[in-house]
């Protein structure tokens, strides 16, 4: 079934009775060429690119719950390519380019909205840092515009420019940055992968990874054993548990990151605004809710919910930046389980076990990475060598100290990112 | 979340700084697998864990035993005394 405006009109006039499920719900087969553990954004994108780029369709995605029920449904939907360090820079640049063609490619409305992202600065030193970042972005081929105070005011007149502690001096404007509809990305990739023959197996929890003679041979699941020539672990916050089934201990600690949404309001914020000094960022969903979040709670957690001190901190930051937000009522809050690495950058690599691949460590940047992560992991699994856009995401960089990507410059150590 | 400081009683989480998993420091001063493991790799348990917290007001390093899924806190003891 192809989606079109015409189809929507026809369905609207006939009571929306013509829609059918858009992917199959198959039982797992006894064997596949490739098994992907994890049916989130990254896993589904990997399956899609394995089929499209490499013609590999004897593939299963195993999901312990339902498709897209993890972090791809628990984020703040921001899509951007404003990274600074080599390694990250080309990867996120590639990802944004994939985002820009995604809806046409998938024939699925992921509501990708390039409404522009503005990172605010409040001091001369911060301005210098953003000039440098902007130059790095431009050198990468992406877009960055330095705004002075009046430039920011033209875009965001509702901010508190004269705050005593953090007066707004300007901002770095990334016009191609924006948001996308989080669930739709997972659904779009799921539908496209299914149509190319990939089995998406839900309610199928992996309970063991079979390794014989240093080579992966399959997985044990709650729906029986499945043989596989290659297995990819794409389990985000649960990566440590899945990797432990193969005897691996990862440089990952799982933390909670909270986010919030207000009741639906009329259009008020038409950008993504990032207030780094308060670890606060905000945008408005197409439904009208103000979606915002802050920093980690900063302790290891799988609770998928946070504690009140960070709630208070985020609300304080919101009031500092835009006092008008005090009129809005918070509707919901939630937490995602972030797979944090010591340097705050991800891992897409082989493991010491032949045929076992790893895609994890997305920290709090996983959503925007979905297309490029799937693209790069598919390349790695299919060709057994990294794609050039993700060659820096090595598992051994912590042991060797070579190629660490610490965007914040705080040190490659747990609990600093 | 509130944590029990052995000196100060049960106190608000805001008084504490999380310092990561409570791990045994390698004996050898030389760089190698043991140090890589100590600095970077983690069991990262979903369930009971032992981690280090610093109680800012009284300056005590604590080993806290707690559950990473439920946020239940089982106990805390000074790291200098071997922890909880």
CA distance A23 to chain B (A): 32
Is residue A128 domain-shared with residue A226, that is, in the same domain?
no
Q: B40, B50, B73: which to substitute to probe chain A, counting the most A Cβ within 10 Å?
A: B40
User: Look-up: residue for tokens 């390694």?
Assistant: A87
Dist CA A136 CA B35 (whole Å): 34
Is residue A150 domain-shared with residue A172, that is, in the same domain?
yes
Which residues touch A55 (CB under 8 Å, ≥6 apart)? none
* Parallel, antiparallel or unpaired: strands A78-79 and B60-67: unpaired
Question: How much is the pLDDT for B82?
Answer: 78
CA distance A376 to chain B (A): 24
Give the CA count within 13 Å in the CB-facing half-sphere of A237: 23
Radius of gyration from C-alpha coordinates of chain B: 14
Compute how many other C-beta atoms are within 10 angstroms of the C-beta atom of residue B11: 17
Residue A152: inside a domain = yes
Of A340, A368, A389, at which residue does a domain stop? A340
What are the backbone dihedrals phi and psi of residue A225, each rounded to the nearest 5 degrees, phi first? -80, 145
Residue A415: inside a domain = no
Chain A residues closer than 8 Å to B19 by CB: 415
Is residue A271 domain-shared with residue A128, that is, in the same domain?
yes
Task: Please give the residue range of the domain that contains residue A67.
Answer: 5-77+182-251+343-400
Dist CA A47 CA A198 (whole Å): 7
Residue B70 tokens read as 């439920």
Q: Do B13 and A342 touch (CB under 8 A)?
A: no
Residue A414: inside a domain = no
Residues of chain B whose C-beta is under 8 A from some C-beta in A? 1, 12-14, 18-21, 33, 36-37, 39-46, 49, 51, 68-71
What are the backbone dihedrals phi and psi of residue A274, each rounded to the nearest 5 degrees, phi first? -120, 120
* Parallel, antiparallel or unpaired: strands A117-121 and A272-275: parallel
State the complex-level ipTM.
0.95
Residue A190: inside a domain = yes
Q: Which of B40, B41, B71 sits opposite A301 (nearest CB)?
A: B71
Chain A residues closer than 8 Å to B33 by CB: 399
Dist CA A328 CA A95 (whole Å): 34
For A74, A301, B50, the CA distances from A82, given in Å and listed in that order, are 22, 28, 37
Residue A284: inside a domain = yes
Closest to A294 in 3D by CA, of A318, A271, A326, A272: A318
Is residue A173 domain-shared with residue A257, that is, in the same domain?
yes
Question: How much is the pLDDT for A225?
Answer: 98
By C-alpha distance, the chain B residue nearest A308 is: B1
For A209, A211, A359, the CA distances from B44, given in Å and listed in that order, are 18, 22, 17
Question: How much is the pLDDT for A415?
Answer: 85
For A109, A175, A195, A311, A328, the CA distances from B10, given in Å and listed in that order, are 51, 49, 56, 21, 34
Mean pLDDT by 10 residues, chain A (417 residues): 88 94 96 98 98 98 96 96 96 98 96 98 97 98 98 98 96 98 97 98 98 98 98 98 98 97 96 96 97 95 94 97 96 96 97 98 96 98 98 96 93 89
Q: Do A250 and B42 touch (CB under 8 A)?
A: yes
Contact A361, A340 (CB under 8 A): yes
Q: DSSP string covering B8-62, please?
A: TEEEEGGGEEEEEE--PPPS-SS-SHHHHHHHT-----SSEEEEEEEETTTTEEE
Residue A100: inside a domain = no
CA distance A314 to chain B (A): 14
Encode pLDDT of B31-74 as tens digits. Answer: 999 999 999 999 999 999 999 999 999 999 999 999 999 999 99
Q: Considering its fold, how many domains does chain B have in total? A: 1
Q: B44, B49, B63: which to substitute to probe chain A, counting the most A Cβ within 10 Å?
A: B44
Closest to B46 in 3D by CA, of B74, B67, B72: B67
Q: DSSP string covering A257-285, please?
A: EEEEEEEE-SS---SEEEEGGGTEEEEE-
Residue B30 belongs to domain with CATH number: 3.30.2270.10
Largest CA distance in chain A: 65
Give the CA count within 13 Å in the CB-facing half-sphere of A174: 29
Residue B77 tokens read as 């003891």
Residue B84 clears pLDDT 80, i.e. is over it? no
CA distance A417 to chain B (A): 12
Residue A286: inside a domain = yes
Count of all residues that appear for chain B in the document: 84
Sign of CA dihedral B42, B45, B50, B52: positive
Q: Which of A252, A298, A303 sits opposite B71 (nearest CB)?
A: A303
Of A306, A322, A340, at which residue does a domain stop? A340
A100, with CB counted inside 10 A (0-12, 13-18, 19+), is middle
Contact A352, A396 (CB under 8 A): no
Is residue A188 domain-shared with residue A149, that is, in the same domain?
no
CA distance A86 to chain B (A): 22
By C-alpha distance, the chain B residue nearest A337 is: B69
Is residue A168 domain-shared with residue A186, that is, in the same domain?
no
Burial A320-352 (b: 16+ CB within 10 A, else e): bbbeebeebebeebbbbbbbbbbbbbbbbbbbe
Q: Considering its fold, how many domains does chain A have in total? A: 2
Compute how many other C-beta atoms are within 10 angstroms of the C-beta atom of residue A27: 9
Task: Please give the residue range of the domain that contains residue B29.
Answer: 2-81
Is residue A239 domain-shared with residue A277, that is, in the same domain?
no
Q: Do B46 and A414 touch (CB under 8 A)?
A: no
Residue A379: inside a domain = yes
Dist CA A93 CA A107 (whole Å): 22
Residue B83 clears pLDDT 80, i.e. is over it? no
Residue A53 belongs to domain with CATH number: 3.50.50.60
Q: Which of A244, A300, A303 sits opposite B70 (nearest CB)?
A: A303
Contact A186, A41 (CB under 8 A): yes
For A25, A233, A321, A359, A362, the CA distances from A348, given in Å and listed in that order, are 28, 10, 36, 4, 10
By C-alpha distance, the chain B residue nearest A297 is: B18
Q: A302, A311, A394: which to substitute to probe chain B, counting the most B Cβ within 10 Å?
A: A302
Is residue A259 domain-shared with residue A384, that is, in the same domain?
no
Is residue A258 domain-shared with residue A330, that is, in the same domain?
yes
Is residue A336 domain-shared with residue A375, that is, in the same domain?
no
Is residue A274 domain-shared with residue A299, that is, in the same domain?
yes
Chain A residues closer than 8 Å to B71 by CB: 301, 303, 307
For A49, A82, A191, A232, B65, the CA distances from A45, given in Å and listed in that order, are 6, 22, 10, 12, 38
Q: DSSP string covering A156-177, please?
A: -TTS-TT-SSS---EEEEETT-
Question: How much is the pLDDT for A265?
Answer: 97
CA distance B68 to chain A (A): 5
Compute how many other C-beta atoms are within 10 angstroms of the C-beta atom of residue A57: 17
Is residue A207 domain-shared with residue A173, that is, in the same domain?
no
């Amino acid at each position: 079934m192809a989606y079109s405006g015409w189809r929507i009109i026809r369905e609207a006039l006939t009571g929306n009775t013509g829609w059918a499920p858009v992917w199959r719900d198959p039982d797992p087969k006894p064997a596949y060429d490739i098994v992907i553990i994890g049916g989130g954004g990254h896993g589904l994108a990997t399956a899609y690119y394995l089929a499209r780029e490499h013609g590999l369709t004897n593939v299963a995605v195993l999901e312990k719950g339902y498709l897209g029920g993890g972090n791809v449904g628990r984020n703040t939907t921001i899509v951007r390519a404003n990274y600074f360090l080599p390694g990250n820079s080309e990867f996120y640049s590639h990802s944004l380019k994939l985002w820009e063609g995604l809806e046409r490619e998938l024939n699925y409305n992921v509501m990708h909205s390039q409404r522009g992202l503005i990172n605010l600065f409040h001091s001369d030193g911060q301005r210098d840092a953003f000039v440098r970042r902007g130059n790095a972005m431009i050198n990468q081929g992406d877009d960055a515009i330095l705004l002075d105070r009046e430039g920011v005011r033209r875009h965001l007149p509702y901010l508190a420019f004269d705050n005593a502690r953090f007066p707004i001096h300007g901002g770095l404007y990334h016009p191609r940055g924006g948001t996308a509809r989080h669930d739709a990305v997972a659904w779009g990739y799921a539908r496209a992968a299914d149509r190319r023959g990939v089995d998406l197996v839900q309610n199928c929890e992996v309970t063991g990874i079979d390794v014989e003679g240093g080579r992966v041979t399959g997985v044990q699941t709650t729906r029986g054993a499945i043989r596989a020539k290659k297995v990819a672990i794409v389990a985000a916050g649960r990566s440590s548990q899945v990797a432990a089934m193969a005897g691996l201990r990862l440089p990952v600690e799982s933390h909670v990151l909270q986010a919030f949404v207000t009741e639906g309001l009329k259009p008020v914020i038409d950008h993504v605004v990032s207030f780094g000094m308060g670890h606060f960022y905000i945008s408005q969903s197409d439904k009208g809710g103000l979606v915002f979040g802050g920093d980690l709670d900063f302790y290891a957690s799988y609770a998928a919910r946070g504690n009140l001190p960070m709630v208070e901190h985020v609300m304080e930051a919101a009031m500092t930046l835009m006092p008008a937000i005090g009129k809005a009522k918070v509707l919901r809050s939630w937490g995602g389980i972030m797979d944090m690495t010591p340097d705050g950058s991800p891992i897409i690599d082989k493991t010491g076990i032949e045929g076992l691949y790893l895609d994890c460590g997305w920290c709090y940047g996983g959503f925007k990475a979905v297309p490029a992560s799937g693209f790069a992991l598919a390349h790695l699994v299919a060709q057994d060598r990294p794609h050039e856009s993700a060659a820096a995401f090595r598992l051994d960089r912590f042991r060797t100290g070579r190629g660490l990507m610490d965007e914040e410059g705080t040190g490659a150590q747990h609990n600093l990112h | 979340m509130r944590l029990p400081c052995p000196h100060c009683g049960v106190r608000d989480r805001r008084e504490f700084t999380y310092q990561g998993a409570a791990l045994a420091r390698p004996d050898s001063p030389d760089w190698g697998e043991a140090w890589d493991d100590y600095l970077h790799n983690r069991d990262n348990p979903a369930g009971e864990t032992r981690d280090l917290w610093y109680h800012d007001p009284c300056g005590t390093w604590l080993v806290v035993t707690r559950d990473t899924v439920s946020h239940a806190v089982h106990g805390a003891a000074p790291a200098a005394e071997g922890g909880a």
